[in-house]
């Protein structure tokens, strides 16, 4: 039996999303920019998906820009804004899509980036943020809604209020929270937000950028006039329809799914603490109100089983990540775990859950890990 607990890396495609995609893979194959009937049908599907996503976020349809995923949406916003703001404030714990983009801008354009300090749990210093913004209004703040490795949740309403008070622009990477939480760009005073379809049971290769209507970006690509000329190139109607349906399905079942996933997370942590003495959580992962409901990051004590642990679990039919999926195959340690000073002799596992997981699967995982650490 394969047990998949790596849903923060990617999720299985929801049946509803698959059904929404099929017409565009079979009959509605026209180019959405074509003016004939076949093209107009494809265009209609894209615009319906745009309206559907906008309604779920409580924004205007014209504020939704379709991209190939979260990384492109992040790059489009950050690179598109870099020449318009005096300073960008971010965190050294951001996803590489933000971190490396800002480092690139520092090196190639001279963009001034200030890295916000954090406490031992990885929570950003909001007092310092207020001080910096008071000194330099008009700054761009880029802080992720939930950390992809620890699950740390940003107090996003508080950050939004701070940014509004100091006339700062606020951008958030919501890749890990879209589909699990209601996204409220207006309430949070956001200038931009990035999301990705494959993290919420939609298809890979699709994402979107919420872009507040008064924000003007320089495009990354040049060509056609698609997506308000911000993302030229023929759109993918099937992926876009699948993404909109997947997000709608998440919203329709959000409370039930969140309660189920939260039970799985709490049960796994409780049972692991019983069978593996010395196990610890990373960041705010053990705090329900301060971490994403679907991510549990733990550090296992020094033990011979730590060697090739993910391989051993994989052979046992259990799919998990060491920290994040982006770092799990790399030779270098996770920048997040290094910043949190997790000892190198501890093994870090990120478990991440979905509506399709069960308590029986969790008990099996506990049993397999307990056997390894006996």
> Which residues are part of the catalytic machinery?
326
CB 156 within 8 A of CB 292: no
Is residue 30 classed as helix, strand or coil in its secondary structure? coil
Tokens 């880029």, located at residue = 142
CB 251 within 8 A of CB 243: no
CA distance 50 to 31: 17
Q: How far apart are the first and last CA of the chain?
A: 23
Question: Of the candidates 34, 35, 64, 31, which has an alpha carbon nearest to the alpha carbon of residue 48?
Answer: 64
CB 148 within 8 A of CB 215: no
CB 140 within 8 A of CB 81: yes
**Encoding tokens for residue 176?**
């890990």
Is residue 115 classed as helix, strand or coil in its secondary structure? strand
Question: Of the candidates 294, 282, 275, 295, which has an alpha carbon nearest to the alpha carbon of residue 366?
Answer: 275
Question: Of the candidates 63, 42, 40, which has an alpha carbon nearest to the alpha carbon of residue 51?
Answer: 63
Question: Of the candidates 97, 138, 136, 132, which has an alpha carbon nearest to the alpha carbon of residue 115?
Answer: 132
CA distances for 100 relative to 78, 140, 331, angstroms: 11, 16, 17
Give residue 110's region: left, alpha or beta (phi > 0; psi -120 to 50).
left
């Amino acid at each position: 039996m394969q047990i998949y607990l790596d849903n923060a890396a990617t999720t299985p495609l929801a049946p509803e999303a698959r059904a929404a995609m099929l017409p565009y893979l079979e009959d509605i194959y026209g180019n959405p920019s074509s003016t004939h009937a076949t093209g107009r049908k494809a265009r209609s599907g894209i615009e319906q998906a745009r309206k559907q996503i906008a309604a779920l976020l409580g924004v205007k349809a014209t504020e939704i820009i379709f991209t190939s995923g979260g990384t492109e949406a992040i790059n489009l916003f950050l690179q598109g804004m870099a020449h318009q703001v005096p300073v960008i404030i971010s965190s050294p714990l951001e996803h590489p899509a933000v971190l490396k983009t800002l480092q690139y801008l520092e090196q190639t354009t001279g963009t001034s980036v200030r890295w916000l300090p954090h406490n031992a749990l990885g929570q950003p210093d909001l007092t310092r943020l207020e001080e910096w913004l008071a000194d330099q209004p008009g700054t761009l703040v880029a802080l992720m809604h939930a950390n992809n490795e620890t699950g740390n949740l940003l107090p996003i309403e508080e950050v939004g209020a701070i940014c509004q008070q100091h006339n700062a622009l606020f951008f958030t990477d919501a890749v890990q929270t879209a589909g699990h939480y209601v996204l409220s760009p207006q309430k949070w005073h956001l200038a931009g937000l990035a999301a990705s379809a494959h993290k919420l049971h939609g298809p890979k290769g699709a994402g979107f950028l919420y872009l507040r209507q008064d924000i003007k970006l320089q495009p990354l690509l040049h060509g056609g006039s698609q997506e308000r000329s911000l993302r030229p190139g023929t759109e993918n109607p099937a992926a876009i329809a699948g993404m909109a349906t997947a997000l709608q399905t998440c919203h329709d079942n959000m409370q039930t799914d969140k309660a189920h996933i939260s039970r799985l997370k709490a049960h796994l942590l409780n049972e692991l603490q019983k069978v593996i003495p010395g196990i610890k959580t990373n960041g705010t992962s053990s705090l329900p109100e301060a971490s994403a409901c679907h991510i549990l990051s733990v550090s296992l004590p020094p033990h011979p089983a730590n060697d090739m642990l993910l391989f051993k679990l994989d052979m046992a039919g259990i799919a998990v990540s060491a920290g994040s999926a982006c770092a799990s195959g790399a030779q270098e340690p996770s920048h997040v775990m290094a910043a949190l000073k997790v000892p190198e002799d501890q093994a870090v596992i990120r478990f991440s859950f979905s509506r399709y997981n069960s308590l029986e699967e969790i008990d099996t995982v506990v049993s397999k890990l307990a056997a390894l650490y006996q």
